[in-house]
Amino acid sequence: MPYINNTVSMKLTLEQEEYIKSQLGKIISEIPNKTEQWLMVSFSDDKVMYFGGERKTKVAYIDIRLLGSCSREHKNKIANLITELFNDYLEIPNDCIYITFQEFKDWAWNGSLF
Ligand SMILES: O=C(O)c1cc2cc(O)c(O)cc2[nH]1
């Protein structure tokens, strides 16, 4: 049940969204028992974003939500891979990429809690 919302300052094309979505599907599989099959991805693009008091044209905030817990080692691996993806593909500087992880015990799907 992972959910990843990607907020970025620039406008994304459909092709860019689909590429990032596919790469996130591969990256999330680095976490045991997580697969693209259960991954929900959303994009909030073309956002006005300030960082360090300055309006930035290339900045990203990636919000990752997980059912259950995951080790710090796996979170660090995911953070590395996602930072590399956004840096390589969208040319966002590494130090303008924020990533947070939240773990949820209570997550419902199809009308019932897991
Ligand atoms: O992605 C997860 O964390 C996930 C998916 C999934 C599906 C399922 O049927 C379960 O019982 C647990 C579960 N966790």
pLDDT, one tens digit for every residue, the chain (114 residues): 899 999 999 999 999 999 999 999 999 999 999 999 999 999 999 999 999 999 999 999 999 999 999 999 999 999 999 999 999 999 999 999 999 999 999 999 999 999
Structural domain containing residue 79 = 3-113
Domain count, the chain: 1
Query: From atom 14 of ligand 1, which residue's Cα is the shortest distance away?
Result: 1
pTM comes to 0.96
Best residue among 37, 78, 114 to mutate for probing ligand 1's pocket (most ligand atoms within 8 Å of CB) is 114
Query: From atom 9 of ligand 1, which residue's Cα is the shortest distance away?
Result: 114
Max alpha carbon distance in the chain (Å)? 44
> What span, in angstroms and rounded, lies between the C-alpha atoms of 29 and 110?
22
**Ligand 1 close to Cβ of residue 109 (< 6 A):** no
Separation in Å, CA 78 to CA 45, 93, 108: 21, 17, 24
**CATH code of the domain containing 74:** 3.30.429.10
